[in-house]
Amino acid sequence: MDRNTFARLCLLLRDLGGLTDGRYVRVEEQVAIFLSILAHHKKNRVVRFDFFWSSQTVSRFVHAVLKAILKLHVILLVKPEPVPEDCTDSRWRWFKGCLGALDGTYINVMVRNADKPRYRTRKGQISTNTLAVCDRNLKFVYVLPGWEGSAADSRILRDALSRVNGFRVPRGNYYLCDSGYANSDGFLAPYKGVRYHLKEWGPNAARPQNAMELFNLRHAKVRNVIERAFRIMKMRWGILRSTSFYPVKIQNRLIMACFILNNFIRTEMPLDPIEQQFDSSNGNGAEDVEQDTEFIDVIGSSPAWNATRDALSLAMWQQYLNNA
């Protein structure tokens, strides 16, 4: 982040996070220590030489800043806006009422030997499976870290919906998800058994041959927003790219802090340097919701929602044929 964004972050942590100056260490230096650890994934004994403080002092202020940042989740986790009826974006205009996309991502963690079987992913890594939901602007709406790497994505989503202050999807709106989730009310999944991933639609690939293939192609293009958000997150924060030096409980809080800070940076900086770097490398709060709003609290495939998807895919295909 630039200097102005850093100064605004320190001010926010003072006013709303409750962070205060130490006897010798001001808030600005405390935040710099914390961001250094997140961005470069340095051990405390390395950071102590960078800032000329003892390991105990570094550890104390890291926990103080972490606590202050987590207090900001109410104002920094965004409330998404659905795709409007008059949307002109060529990618999103077919998905009226869509709020964004969701998926899970693996983040390596350090756990006790007795817990490693539960945290072992299908690729053999010891990781936590973090559910994240983002809007169309790559800002995160909801984050749930802490589940073991062996847990299925759909199970984590059910847990998020069942929590008292968990994930909420208003009736009539929905999020895009991959085929690991059920195509149910509030969650629009692609057709299974039909080519989907963008790499399958390269310049030498055949054009869509039916309504289901066309739907999957357009679904993949817009759902790619969550994959893009994950890539930017892991490019920005080194602590998410390799196994943490912290216990898993603290690591889960650090993961949450990374997502919160990502929203703050994207809000305060019109041009995100990490996003620009990503483009170059690839060649290219619930309190203000009305009380009578009805939310989705269960997931499960339903004939009605499958019919909604079929109708949407057929409308896409008819328009595609008319323009061919």
Cα–Cα distance, 212 to 231 (Å, whole number): 28
**Average pLDDT of span 89-113:** 91
The string of DSSP letters for 179-246 reads TTS--BTTEE-PPTTS--SGGGG-TTSPPP-SHHHHHHHHHHHHHHHHHHHHHHHHHH-GGGTS--SS
The Cα 81–Cα 175 span in angstroms is: 11
Least confident of 6-10, 39-43, 135-139, 256-260: 39-43
Backbone angles phi, psi at 180, to 5 degrees: -75, -10
Give me the residue spans of the domains in the chain. 3-71, 81-283+295-323
User: How far is the CA of 300 from the CAs of 141, 293, 311, in angstroms?
Assistant: 22, 21, 19
| Half-sphere exposure for 19 (CA within 13 Å, toward CB) | 28
Tokens 């919160």 identify what position?
260
What would the two tokens of residue 44 be?
């405390």
pLDDT at 297: 63
> What pLDDT is attached to residue 205?
64
Choose between 280 and 207: higher pLDDT. Answer: 207
The letter for the amino acid at 148 is E
Alpha-carbon gap, residue 95 to 90, rounded angstroms: 10
In percent, the amount of the chain with pLDDT more than 90 equals 43
Q: What would the mean pLDDT of 246-251 be, rounded to a whole number?
A: 89
